Amino acid sequence: MLLEDFFEIAQNQFNDALPFVLYQKPNASVVKGLFQNNDLVYTSENLTESGFVFAPFNIEERTVLIPSNQSEILECDFVIPAQTEINLQEANNLSEAKSFHINLVSKAIKAIKNNTFKKVVLSRKEEVSLLEGNPIELFKRLLSQYKSALVYCWYHPKIGLWLGATPETLLSITGNRFTTMALAGTQAYKGNNNPTWKTKETQEQQLVTDFLVNNLQPLVSSLNVSKVETVKAGTLLHLRTQVSGILNSNLKAIVEVLHPTPAVCGLPKAVSKQFILENENYKREFYTGFLGELNITEKITRNTNRRNIENSAYNSVKTVSNLFVNLRCMQLTDVKAHIYIGGGITKDSIPEQEWEETVNKSQTMKKVLF
């Protein structure tokens, strides 16, 4: 399908107020779309359905599904153009938000020192006036800027309009093999892919890794943990450890263990989540929830003989799920973008620096708005 035709179908779907999702997986060359044929709200109860799932931070609320069997599924090639630097012009006064966030971080540090929890992830919502309100055009800008992230545009007339570019995988499954990641620690990219990381960032990342390993062990086998590496996502650097293995349980059981991860909630999970719900002073909705392909049938091509690649390729059909944590995202209304950003708080956190981290992270979405 031609790219122009693909985006024209998406624009018509939006104009007709019908649900759809457009997305491109990290480092992929194909943009996909699910275009629902009615405006009903479908939900996933057990993560056994097939389609594109969109789940909130608070998993007790409904998990929305754009079902495969109620949608037209299309894709097209998209060659990502070279990234260009954009100078951002801040137009809003953040002094009140800064004061609130610094006080909130200070309160969290006090709770950590009192052994209420080991870590908590605190976030905020920032409103920015829209100069470009067409979500399809904003999605194209995101595609051009963030090739190593899941880039998406999700719309349902009865729920809302969300766009994002998230670097964090919650869970990828092909057949019975899975991969997940611990992604924590953040600093601005300054031309160096091997920066020096402070103790606060390395400890934060290790907490996430330990949580994944300890909680997955009863549900999986052949567990493998990679070395810690530095990865670039837009204008930011993060620490990442990949965890993989073979599933011995169903998808819902795994997701319930992982979500919300310590990278977006805290440790222990229950008490840090309660602190977030009681103190952040706004509702996260789908920010730090998860989204992605759910039980999609896909043809897998493999080569069994590297010496004779031309004759050894064969195809198999497997069920795949590719779920991502909904970071670096925004919700659009008619005239404003609501940008969501946050950061992990430990006993070594410095409130003013935590504020600056959220400012740096906000640039991911602001790049496509100005």
Q: Tens of pLDDT along 210-238?
A: 999 999 999 999 999 999 999 988 778 98
Q: Does 368 reside within a domain?
A: no
Answer yes or no: are the C-beta atoms of 181 and 241 closer than 8 Å: yes
Q: Does 9 reside within a domain?
A: yes
Q: Does 126 reside within a domain?
A: no
State the Cα–Cα distance between residues 173 and 251, nearest whole angstrom.
9
Closest CA to 366 of 149, 156, 146: 146
Residue 164, helix vs strand vs coil: strand
Tokens 């204008």 found at: 235
Q: Does 332 reside within a domain?
A: yes
The kind and range of the H/E element at 137 are helix 135-145
Distance set, CA 23 to CA 16, 167, 314, 319, 322 (Å): 20, 13, 27, 19, 12
Q: What residues pair up with 244 in beta bridges, in sequence order?
A: 179, 224
Q: Does 355 reside within a domain?
A: no
Residue 182, helix vs strand vs coil: strand
Distance set, CA 49 to CA 39, 142, 180, 228, 252 (Å): 18, 29, 21, 34, 11
> For the residues 98-125, what does the mean pLDDT come to?
97
Residue pLDDT, tens place only, 5-29: 999 999 999 999 999 999 999 999 9
CA 340 to chain centre: 12
State the Cα–Cα distance between residues 170 and 325, nearest whole angstrom.
5
Q: Does 349 reside within a domain?
A: no
Name the token pair of 21: 């999702």
Overall number of domains in the chain: 1
Q: Does pLDDT of 90 surpass 80?
A: no
Q: Which residues contact 60 (CB under 8 A, 6 or more apart)?
A: none
State the Cα–Cα distance between residues 199 and 345, nearest whole angstrom.
13
Answer yes or no: are the C-beta atoms of 164 and 143 closer than 8 Å: no
CATH number of the domain that residue 148 is part of: 3.60.120.10
Residue 189, helix vs strand vs coil: coil
> For the residues 125-135, what does the mean pLDDT come to?
87
Name the token pair of 232: 């670039």
Tokens 């897998």 found at: 300
Residue pLDDT, tens place only, 132-158: 779 999 999 999 888 889 999 999 999
Residue pLDDT, tens place only, 222-281: 999 999 999 988 778 989 999 999 999 999 999 999 999 988 999 999 999 999 999 999
Q: What pLDDT, on the 0 to 100 scale, is given for residue 235?
A: 77
Q: Does pLDDT of 54 surpass 50?
A: yes
Q: Does 359 reside within a domain?
A: no
8-state DSSP, 282: S
Q: Does 147 reside within a domain?
A: yes
State the Cα–Cα distance between residues 283 and 280, nearest whole angstrom.
8
Nearest 5 degrees, angle CA 262-CA 172-CA 82? 95
Domain residue limits at 216: 3-81+131-260+278-302+311-340
